[in-house]
Chains A and B, each alone.
Chain A
Amino acid sequence: MGTVRPPDHAAAITGVGVVSPLGSSFAEVADSLLAGRSGIREIASARGAREARQFAGPVAVIPVPHSCPPAGFAAFDRLEQLCLSPAATALADAGLAGAVAAERIGLVLGVGAEQLKTWELDFLAGGTRVFEPRRDEALVQRMARRLGIAGPAVTVAAACASSGYALALGRAWLAAGLVDACLVGGCDILSPTAIAAFYNLRALSRRSDDPLKASRPFDRERDGFVMAEGGAFLVLEPASAARRPGGRVYGELAGVGMSSDAHHMVTPCTDPAQAARAITLALADAGVEPADVDYVNAHAAGTPVGDVAEAGAIRRAFGAATDTLPVSSTKSMSGHLVSGAAAFEAVACLAAIERQAVPPTVNLDDIDPACALDHVPHTARPHRVRVAASNSFGFGGANLCLVIRQAA
Chain B
Amino acid sequence: MHTLPFEPSVRPACVLERHAVVEVPLSEIQALRDAPAPAGAPSLPPRFLRHCDEQTVVGVRAVLEALASQADPPATLARDGVIAAPRLAGRITAAQTLAQVATAGGVAVSPHVVPQCSLHALASAVSVALGMHGLNLGTSGGPEALSEGLFAALSLVPTAGCDRIWLVLTEWDEEPALDAAGRPKNDPLCRGVALALAPCTVAQPAGITFALRPGAERVAAAPGSETAVAGGSGLAAFAAALALCTASGVIASWSHVCPWGTEIRIAAPPSVAGATSPPILREAA
Using a CB–CB cutoff of 8 Å, the interface residues on chain A facing chain B are 1-5, 46-50, 103, 111-116, 119-120, 123, 130-141, 144, 150-159, 162, 165, 169, 172-173, 175-178, 192-201, 258-266, 274, 277, 281, 394-398
Contact = CB atoms under 8 A, between A and B. Distances in A.
B174 interface: yes
Contacts of B119: 111-115, 155, 157
Contact of B143 (A3, A137, A165): A137
Contacts of A200: 106-107, 109-111
19 contacts: A1-B81, A112-B138, A130-B94, A133-B175, A137-B142, A152-B151, A153-B259, A156-B152, A169-B152, A192-B106, A195-B106, A197-B114, A260-B127, A260-B135, A262-B133, A265-B116, A266-B115, A395-B124, A397-B128
A12 to B, nearest CB: 19
Contacts of A116: 90, 94, 113-114, 117-118
Interface string B230-267: 00000000000000000000000000001111100000
A130 B258 CA distance: 27
Contact of A115 (B94, B112, B130, B261): B94
B118 A395 contact: yes
B191 interface: no
Nearest to B109: A196
B107 A158 contact: no
B7 interface: no
A48 to B, nearest CB: 3
B148 A154 contact: yes
B95 A115 contact: no
Most buried by A among B94, B111, B118, B133: B118
A239 to B, nearest CB: 17
B159 A135 contact: no
B104 A48 contact: yes
Contacts of A151: 260
Nearest to A203: B111
Nearest to A149: B260
Contacts of A263: 128
A119 B94 contact: yes
B137 A156 contact: yes
Nearest to A159: B120
Interface in B134-148: 134-144, 148
Contacts of B133: 1, 259-262, 274, 277
B186 to A, nearest CB: 8
**What 9 A-B pairs are tightest by C-beta distance, nearest first?**
A396-B124, A48-B105, A138-B142, A196-B106, A133-B175, A157-B119, A201-B111, A157-B138, A258-B135
Contacts of A264: 128
A180 B260 CA distance: 14
Interface string B170-210: 00001111111010000000000000000000000000000
Contacts of A260: 81, 124, 127, 132-136
Contacts of A259: 133-135
A116 B142 CA distance: 12
A144 B261 CA distance: 14
Contact of A120 (B98, B125, B136, B139): B98
